């Protein structure tokens, strides 16, 4: 039984839709970076391609399994950092990372080896400025200032970050020549061995000499290749301090999770770490026995954080690293630690810009084809449905307006990038919206063939059409979701936009098309057969009614 016209409030539906659009565009123009254009993918805006060359301590070739594992970890980091549209592929003994835009630093950071260890600090000193005389071996080093942060509440003890070791992006190795040979690989292995002989020596005299002569301003040949079972002389990531560290007590693989956040009580950003079972027990024992001492978190043979232990951390509890963090640096460190250590050390050997000329040409051709198809659909609707075709065009325009705002916001907040495959998904999704209009209009015609007026046929036709529309969109959404889960690369962008427009189809049909048609059904002008294009259907209904009456009279 169709709802009575008195129970329908089309203006309310239209108001809800208008509010949704207003909220979306308020977010577009008054939040974030205020950019009102979607982020484009590699094929539309170009990007940066960085080739990472694998390095092993003995100079041997990396195994296929280690390369595949490194590829999977970097792909996970790509998703965690929100770099949508990126690609990570294996090319021989190298990994090739392609990132949209011209920020090569972001692409390089994805290849950080992230060999993370927790090492007790034996001693530390300020690093000698480049070009100045370093302290001679045997001299008493100037200690690095201890952390001065306010202790956390007792139910969540955490170490205070040494301000001199606030995390900064680890420096990347100097690019190697494109024609790197086996000789250069052997030289790299010799550099790693020489660095280990001095900076990982167990002889106190050699350790002091290494601290005095270590130059933090040059690329580190030991980067990501230190032996965790030996002591280590290491620089802080900002190059302001040199540390003598004891053998590692916890491997980075023991980190279960790492998150960043803002501590409103202390008015600072911090990184929260949760260790796995074995690491948590080790950390609990260490913090209970070493209150007031420093523990260094070393990433790729550099100290990214050397906090002072301010209290014992019970096993199973999280611990926080605080200090001179910004929201961005805290998030970067948390993501790097969270997604684990790579099985290989990498050096960025090549970076190049990817042109978007071909993609823009394809985009122009695709947009022209899509526009031609859309115009043909609208012309067909105008010829077949007359003024109801105008409602179709209006609904499609409003759907496009909402889609555009959502694309802008997705690019701003989750770094979603729109590529050619995604645009194809949008076009198909908008076409499915037109299909929903056709289903609705045909149900109205079915009701009118049974002899009902345009006004009474609209609510009855909608009651029948909405079930079909929901069923069809549900099937399309499930297909898009499955494709998104199983696919990789640009196919996922197609599936994402297809699923998004499928959801918006339901929103537009329920909040725009149905209310507009309902209002039209109560208008004397729109009810005219010559206006709504339903005159032929009404004529069929009259002929059926006349035939039925004639048959009844003949039986009598």
Helix (H) or strand (E) segment spanning residue 374: helix 357-385
| Strand, helix or coil for residue 62 | coil
Q: Which domains does the chain have, with CATH numbers?
A: 5-36+357-552 (1.20.1640.10), 42-103 (3.30.1070), 114-341 (3.30.1360.200)
* Position 4 pLDDT exceeds 70: no
pLDDT, position 205: 93
Angstrom distance (rounded) from CA 30 to CA 216: 44
pTM of the model: 0.55
pLDDT (0 to 100) of residue 81: 53
CA distance 515 to 425: 27
478-497 pLDDT, tens digit per residue, is 999 999 888 766 788 889 99
**Given a cut of 80, is residue 395 above it in pLDDT?**
yes
Q: Is 449 in contact with 540 (CB distance < 8 Å)?
A: yes
Give pLDDT, residue 229: 92
**Mean pLDDT within 36-43:** 78
Between CA 485 and CA 41 the distance in angstroms is 20
Mean pLDDT value across the chain: 77
pLDDT tens digits along 312-325: 888 888 888 777 78
Q: What is the pLDDT of residue 183?
A: 52
pLDDT at 153 over 80: no
The pLDDT of residue 16 is 94
Residues 6+ apart with CB under 8 A from 318: 156, 272, 273, 274
Instruction: Evaluate if residue 529 carries a pLDDT over 60.
Output: yes
Q: List, as own/partner pairs, every contact residues 272-281 make where C-beta atoms lie below 8 angstroms and the sequence separation is at least 24, other chains included.
A: 272/318, 272/319, 272/320, 272/334, 273/318, 273/319, 273/320, 273/321, 273/337, 274/318, 275/250, 275/319, 278/254, 279/250, 279/251, 279/254, 279/255, 280/254, 280/315, 280/316, 280/317, 281/315
224-228, 380-384, 494-498, range with greatest mean pLDDT: 494-498
User: What is the separation of C-alpha 430 from the centre of its chain, rounded to a whole number of angstroms?
Assistant: 25
Residue 470: its pLDDT value, please? 93
Task: Give the model's pLDDT for residue 76.
Answer: 67
Q: Is the pLDDT of residue 361 over 90?
A: no
Helix (H, G, I), strand (E, B) or coil at 516: helix
Task: Give the confidence band of 446 by pLDDT, cuts at 50, 70, 90.
Answer: confident
């Amino acid at each position: 039984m169709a709802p009575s016209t008195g129970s329908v409030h089309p203006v309310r539906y239209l108001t809800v839709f208008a509010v949704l659009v207003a909220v979306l565009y308020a977010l577009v123009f008054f939040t974030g970076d205020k950019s009102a254009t979607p982020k484009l993918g590699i094929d539309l805006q170009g990007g940066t391609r960085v080739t990472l060359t694998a390095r092993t301590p003995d100079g041997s070739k990396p195994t296929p399994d280690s390369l595949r594992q490194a590829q999977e970890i970097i792909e996970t980091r790509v998703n965690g950092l929100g770099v949508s549209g990126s690609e990570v592929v294996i090319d021989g003994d190298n990994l090739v990372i392609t990132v949209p835009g011209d920020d090569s630093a972001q692409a390089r950071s994805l290849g950080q080896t992230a060999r993370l260890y927790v090492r007790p600090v034996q001693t530390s000193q300020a690093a000698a400025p480049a070009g100045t005389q370093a302290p001679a071996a045997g001299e008493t080093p100037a200690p690095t200032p201890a952390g001065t942060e306010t202790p956390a509440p007792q139910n969540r003890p955490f170490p205070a970050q040494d301000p001199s070791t606030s995390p900064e992006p680890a420096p990347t190795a100097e690019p190697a020549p494109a024609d790197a040979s086996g000789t250069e690989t052997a030289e790299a292995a010799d550099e790693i061995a020489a660095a280990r002989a001095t900076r990982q020596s167990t002889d106190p005299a050699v350790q002091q000499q290494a601290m005095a002569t270590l130059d933090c301003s040059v690329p580190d040949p030991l980067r990501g290749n230190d032996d965790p079972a030996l002591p280590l002389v290491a620089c802080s990531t900002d190059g302001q301090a040199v540390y003598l560290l004891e053998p590692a007590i916890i491997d980075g693989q023991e980190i279960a999770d790492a998150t960043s956040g803002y501590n409103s009580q202390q008015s600072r950003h911090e990184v929260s770490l949760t260790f796995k079972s074995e690491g948590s027990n080790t950390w609990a024992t260490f913090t209970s026995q070493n209150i007031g001492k420093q523990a260094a978190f070393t990433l790729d043979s550099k100290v990214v954080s050397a906090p002072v232990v301010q209290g014992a951390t019970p096993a199973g509890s999280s611990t926080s690293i605080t200090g001179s963090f910004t929201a961005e640096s805290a998030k970067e460190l948390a993501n790097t630690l969270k997604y684990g250590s790579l099985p290989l050390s990498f050096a960025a050997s090549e970076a190049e810009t990817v042109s978007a000329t071909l993609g823009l040409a394809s985009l122009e051709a695709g947009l022209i084809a899509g526009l031609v198809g859309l115009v043909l659909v609208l012309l067909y609707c105008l010829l077949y449905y007359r003024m109801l075709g105008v409602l179709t065009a209006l609904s499609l325009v409003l759907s496009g307006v909402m889609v555009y705002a959502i694309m802008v916001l997705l690019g701003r907040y989750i770094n979603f990038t729109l590529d050619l495959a995604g645009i194809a998904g949008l076009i198909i999704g908008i076409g499915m919206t037109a299909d929903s209009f056709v289903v609705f209009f045909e149900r109205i015609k079915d009701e009118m063939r049974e002899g009902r007026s345009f006004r009474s046929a609209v609510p009855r036709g909608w009651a029948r059409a909405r079930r079909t529309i929901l069923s069809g969109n549900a099937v399309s959404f499930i297909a898009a979701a499955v494709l998104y889960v199983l696919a990789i690369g640009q196919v996922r962008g197609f599936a994402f936009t297809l699923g998004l427009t499928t959801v918006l189809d339901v929103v537009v049909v329920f909040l725009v098309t149905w209310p507009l048609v309902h209002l039209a059904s109560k208008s004397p002008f729109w009810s005219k057969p010559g206006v709504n294009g339903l005159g032929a259907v009404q004529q069929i209904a009259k002929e059926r009614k006349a035939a039925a009456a004639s048959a009844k009279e003949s039986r009598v």
